[in-house]
A and B are shown apart, each in its own frame.
Chain A
């Protein structure tokens, strides 16, 4: 079974530029999560989708971050414009629909904002 795929793995941009990350969850997983992991900290949930609907985006900085999962499968997270403090690893995870289940994580995208 293929795992969660993310691309790119690394991205370096200058502040005020825009950037997009892509995630393809495990086949059949209805729930998709985006986490932000700042160096030295644990992951923090940014947004959670169930199929193509948003379950929780309470910690997403909506003035600059956006995410979509149009067909209920893969997802894109965008930052526009980026700030220095957005430098972090962006992790995507997925889980199956029923109950409390393990979240499977992708390798992450390491973003550096200069």
Chain B
């Protein structure tokens, strides 16, 4: 069975500073990996996804993530954070052999200081 760990529950970052959110996964085959963002009272919005190919993936809102198979990681980065990036971020692994079932990590809440 697949699993996802997001080691950081909370991260506080100053506006304009860089951001990196960690994600480690466990899956027996080539993973399909996703990052979603959830603003208060909202559903989840997809930031980016990795299926295959280039291990550096570009997403919306200036986010990118890098797949590192040797480290079983899929960390999310943004070079310069905006106040509107304050939200909760979820990493997820998809299981193509199980009907595209998504398993989510526990999430990382990002607070942005002015």
- Interface, chain A (partner B; CB < 8 A): 4, 31, 33, 40-45, 48, 50, 55-56, 91, 93, 95, 99-108
Contact B107 A42 (CB under 8 A): yes
Give the residues in chain B near A44, CB-CB below 8 Å. Answer: 104
Q: Mark B63-90, 1 if CB is under 8 A from A, else 0.
A: 0000000000000000000000000001
Give the residues in chain B near A93, CB-CB below 8 Å. Answer: 43-44
Greatest chain B CB density within 10 A among A4, A44, A55, A100 is at: A100
- 12 CB contacts below 8 A, A to B, read A31-B99, A42-B105, A43-B102, A44-B104, A45-B102, A55-B99, A99-B96, A103-B46, A103-B102, A107-B41, A107-B42, A107-B43
Q: Does B98 sit within 8 A of A, measured CB to CB?
A: yes
Give the residues in chain B near A91, CB-CB below 8 Å. Answer: 43-44
Min Cβ gap A104→B in Å is: 8
Min Cβ gap A86→B in Å is: 19
User: Given A105-B36, A107-B42, 12 more contacts at CB 8 Å?
Assistant: A31-B99, A42-B92, A42-B105, A43-B90, A45-B103, A48-B99, A56-B99, A56-B101, A99-B96, A100-B96, A100-B100, A105-B44
Give the residues in chain A near B96, CB-CB below 8 Å. Answer: 99-100
Give the residues in chain A near B43, CB-CB below 8 Å. Answer: 4, 91, 93, 105-108
Chain B interface mostly: strand
Contact B100 A101 (CB under 8 A): yes
Greatest chain B CB density within 10 A among A43, A48, A102, A104 is at: A43
Give the residues in chain A near B49, CB-CB below 8 Å. Answer: 102
CB within 8 Å for A45 and B101 given contacts A4-B43, A107-B41: yes
CB within 8 Å for A100 and B101 given contacts A41-B107, A43-B44: no
